[in-house]
Chain A
Amino acid sequence: EAQVTQNPRYLITVTGKKLTVTCSQNMNHEYMSWYRQDPGLGLRQIYYSMNVEVTDKGDVPEGYKVSRKEKRNFPLILESPSPNQTSLYFCASTGTGISYNEQFFGPGTRLTVL
């Protein structure tokens, strides 16, 4: 089954404790991205990657890191989480060209930073 998976689905952590949210897709997609979703603000792109070893900042990259060492995986790293990073996070992937292809979203990761 074609899908995007994220882990963990739910996470409660404390300020400053490094964490990684994994994202994996099995559709051989080149383009992957991370979004956060907050009430009243909609989905905002954090980082995106057009292919292996190619990453770029989205609209809200501060406090986040990503890597793309393999085509299928695109982990999101919070080196020192803060309460304002409490949010619902989605990973998504698409074939070549974000402008022309639908994105497939993972199920989401609900993160709470205390």
Chain B
Amino acid sequence: GQNIDQPTEMTATEGAIVQINCTYQTSGFNGLFWYQQHAGEAPTFLSYNVLDGLEEKGRFSSFLSRSKGYSYLLLKELQMKDSASYLCAVTSGNTDKLIFGTGTRLQVFP
């Protein structure tokens, strides 16, 4: 089966850096997505990793280690609007399903 783990909640201060971890177990791994979801709203795409390494997109970066079944999302220069849930999701090679983790709720304080 597939299993995805991420912390339930995290807090951080405005202007700081925060790292949200995601570990997964899946057969035939294809790729890993990160989505952001503000309370009561739809998820929106942040990043996609298929190869090992770091993908940088402005203040957000995502890292993947396929051999360790591990990813993290790095948020720099935190802003109040970054308070949201961050969802890790993986796809495996033998299905067309996207499996989501339960999400990490990040609260940014002034």
Contacts and interface: CB of A to CB of B under 8 A. Distances in A.
Contact of B45 (A44, A45, A102): A102
- Chain A interface size band reads 20 to 34
Interface in B92-110: 93, 96-103
Nearest to B6: A42
Contacts of A98: 91, 96-98
Nearest to A31: B96
A111 to B, nearest CB: 14
A79 B44 CA distance: 30
Contacts of A104: 45
A108 B96 contact: no
B48 to A, nearest CB: 7
A45 B33 contact: no
A59 B97 contact: yes
A50 interface: yes
A58 interface: yes
A48 B33 CA distance: 18
A106 B42 CA distance: 6
A56 B102 CA distance: 23
Contacts of A74: none
B87 A42 contact: yes
Contacts of B50: 100
A35 B100 CA distance: 10
Given A99-B30, A99-B91, A42 B42 contact: no
Interface of A: 31, 33, 35, 40-45, 48, 50, 56, 58-59, 90, 98-100, 102-108
Q: Which 3 A-B pairs have the closest CB atoms?
A: A102-B45, A105-B42, A42-B102
Given A42-B87, A44-B100, A102-B33, 18 more contacts: A31-B96, A33-B98, A40-B102, A41-B102, A42-B103, A48-B96, A90-B43, A98-B96, A100-B31, A102-B48, A104-B45, A105-B42, A105-B44, A106-B42, A107-B41, A107-B42, A108-B41, A108-B42
